[in-house]
Amino acid sequence: MEVLYNECLKKYTTVKIGGYAKKVYIPENTDELINIFDSIPESERYIIGKGSNILINDDRTYENVISLREFDNSITKLDEGKYYVGASVKLQKFINYINNDGFGGIEYLYSVPGLLGGAIVMNAGRGKRSELCISDHIVDIHVYAQGTIKILKKEQCEFQYRSSIFKNKGYLILGATFKFNKMSIGDSKKLKNERLELCKSVQDNSGYNFGSVFMESDWRIMQLVKIIHPGYKKGVTFSKKTGNWIINSGEGTFNQAMSLIKTVQKMHRILGKEAILEIILWK
């Protein structure tokens, strides 16, 4: 297992904000992962997939971070349309694999820069109104929790919009079994291209980001906040192109991002509404 010392965590996130880790462990198989997971007390243990939904405090040094990008990159075909997928697998690799096999159903995730484990924790999906999310196709999930490997049925995982029981730090997702319907290669290719084209036209790629900041917010209040507190010339600003996104020019800090987030939450409170955070904070 690779262990890296005094690592800057910025490079482990898509938003490029974060402090240092005294040690970053990169386990290369499940045994190594479980050993290191068990050896670190929960309060000192931080887990990162592709870091595309995490805001890390840059004023802090973390003791131990476990990167899950290497420990299981395998996809195993179990039956017609049924696969076991390791938690380190990138979503694009997973989607291409099932599509090439003549199956599909999650092509709307082709634009999501996460690993399978993170996508399950967050129940990644399309916008709220579409009601489409990765858990639609899950049969069961292999987890390590309370000292044992368990297989949880989908119904045990309390999947909701951008949420699951795995947000609780005690769970480690090892992989999951999925079932998909048949889809022609032509159809899946079309859906993936449509998704990428849509993202090009509606998503702001002018800087670093972590996708949607809030899983629930009022767009009128968000507009108001953008006027009151548009952000920092050198650093983090609200996106002018994509509602509910903040953009880091590269010089942004945790405190800047938190200032925008807290303003949104305060304005919602004042106006009797609630803004629920989607991203995970490492305070």
Residue 247 contacts ligand FAD per CB under 6 A: no
By CB under 6 A, which span of 95-103, 146-154, 209-217, 265-273 interacts with ligand FAD? 209-217
Q: What residues contact residue 257 under an 8 Å CB cut-off, 6+ apart?
A: 15, 17, 55, 236, 246, 248
Q: Is 252 in the site for ligand FAD (CB under 6 A)?
A: no
Residues 6+ apart with CB under 8 A from 162: 122, 123, 124, 125, 215, 278
Q: With contacts defined by CB under 6 A, how many residues of the chain interact with ligand FAD?
A: 31
- Residue from 21, 24, 48, 257 that binds ligand FAD (CB under 6 A)? 48
First-residue to last-residue Cα distance in the chain: 27
Nearer to ligand FAD, 40 or 280 (CB): 280
Longest pairwise C-alpha distance within the chain: 55
Q: How far apart are CA 273 and CA 258, in angstroms?
A: 19
Closer by beta carbon to ligand FAD, 64 or else 267: 64
The 95-134 contact track toward ligand FAD, x by CB under 6 A, reads ----------------xxxxx-xxx-xx-xx---------
SS3 label, residue 147: coil
- Provide the mask over 63-82, with x wherever binding to ligand FAD is found by CB under 6 A and - wherever it is not: -----x--------------
Closest CA to 236 of 213, 212, 253: 253
* 277 touches ligand FAD by CB under 6 A: no
Alpha carbons 85 and 163: distance in angstroms, whole number = 20
- CB nearer ligand FAD, residue 105 or residue 211: 211
Contact predicate 252/206, CB 8 Å: no
246 makes contact with ligand FAD (CB under 6 A): no
Residue nearest to ligand FAD (CB): 118
User: Judged by CB under 6 A, does residue 173 bind ligand FAD?
Assistant: yes
3-state secondary structure 41-90: CHHHEEEECCCCCEEECCCCEEEEEEECCCCCCCEEEEECCEEEEECCCE
Using CB under 6 A, pick the residue from 84, 166, 214, 254 that binds ligand FAD.
166
In the 8-state DSSP scheme, what is residue 180?
-
Non-local CB neighbours of 170 within 8 Å, separated by 6+ positions: 42, 145, 146
Smallest gap from residue 210 Cβ to ligand FAD (A): 5
Q: Is residue 52 involved in binding ligand FAD (CB under 6 A)? A: yes
Q: At its nearest, how many Å lie between ligand FAD and the CB of residue 199?
A: 7
Closer to ligand FAD by CB, 166 or 254: give it. Answer: 166
256 belongs to the binding site for ligand FAD (CB under 6 A): no
Footprint on this chain of ligand FAD (rule: CB under 6 A) = 14, 47-54, 68, 87, 111-115, 117-119, 121-122, 124-125, 166, 171-173, 209-211, 280
